């Protein structure tokens, strides 16, 4: 696969790097008991499971009200409603699917922010109607809500070869 080095891709990569660095700035390598990290891993696993069962409404529902999604090749989407509008057509097509699995998590020393990193597989109908599978890595930044639940504040995926 040839990497697309258009300005959009470069800007997107810079955003992803900046967000990851900001998220990591408040994290310790020993950021609390591993049980804390497991809470975030489980939240991300629940996110994946629920979206697989329920689609766009579940996707948007895991985002904070002011959450942001950085879709590939498109401007950032800010706010749960815009994220729902953008993702509804994808999940409305029964030929499409999105699966992911977190591989690691970190939580800031403050306990208010954390992030998960993992791999995803997306399946969508190609121009000929046949399934097209793509793979990538993702970073999801989470913020702990006042009720103790974790919500997504930034989600970004980076397509790549398996």
111-145: per-residue pLDDT in tens? 999 999 999 999 998 889 889 999 999 999 999 99
In-domain check, residue 59: yes
Total structural domains within the chain: 1
The per-residue pLDDT for 129 is: 84
In-domain check, residue 110: yes
| pLDDT mean over 27-37 | 55
**Domain CATH number, residue 58:** 3.10.450.50
**Which DSSP category does 30 fall into?**
T
In-domain check, residue 132: no
pLDDT, averaged across the chain: 84
Measured in whole angstroms, the distance separating CA 19 from the mean position of its chain's CA atoms is 12
Query: Which pTM does this prediction carry?
Result: 0.79
In-domain check, residue 2: no
Closest CA to 27 of 111, 122, 148, 127: 111
In-domain check, residue 129: no
pLDDT band of residue 29 (cuts 50, 70, 90) is very low
H or E element that contains 22: helix 7-25
The per-residue pLDDT for 161 is: 74
Most confident range (mean pLDDT) of 16-30, 31-45, 67-81 is 67-81
Question: Does residue 3 carry a pLDDT above 50?
Answer: no
In-domain check, residue 49: yes
| CB 125 within 8 Å of CB 93 | yes
107 Cβ contact list (under 8 Å, min separation 6): 27, 31, 32, 36, 37, 40, 113, 114
Tens digit of each residue's pLDDT (9 = 90 or more) over 71-82: 988 999 999 999
Q: How far apart are CA 35 and CA 81, in angstroms?
A: 33
Q: 22: domain range?
A: 7-26+33-91+104-116+138-156
| pLDDT mean over 60-83 | 96
Tens digit of each residue's pLDDT (9 = 90 or more) over 94-103: 989 999 999 9
Which long-range contacts (C-beta less than 8 Å, at least 24 apart) are formed by 137-140? 138/100, 139/16, 139/19, 139/20, 139/23, 139/115, 140/44, 140/47, 140/102, 140/115, 140/116
């Amino acid at each position: 696969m040839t990497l697309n080095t258009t300005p959009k891709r470069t800007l997107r990569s810079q955003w992803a790097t900046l967000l990851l660095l900001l998220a990591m700035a408040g994290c310790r390598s020993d950021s609390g008991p591993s049980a804390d990290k497991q809470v975030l891993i489980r939240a991300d696993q629940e996110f994946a499971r629920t979206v697989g069962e329920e689609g766009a409404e579940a996707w948007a529902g895991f985002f904070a009200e002011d959450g942001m999604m950085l879709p590939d090749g498109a401007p950032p989407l800010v706010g749960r409603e815009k994220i729902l509008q953008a993702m509804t057509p994808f999940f409305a097509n029964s030929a499409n699917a999105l699966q992911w699995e977190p591989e690691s998590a970190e939580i800031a020393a403050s306990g208010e922010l954390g992030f998960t990193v993992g791999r995803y597989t997306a399946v969508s109908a190609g121009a000929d109607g046949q399934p097209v599978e793509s793979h990538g890595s993702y970073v999801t930044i989470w913020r702990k809500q006042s009720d103790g639940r974790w919500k997504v504040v930034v989600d970004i995926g980076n397509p790549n070869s398996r």
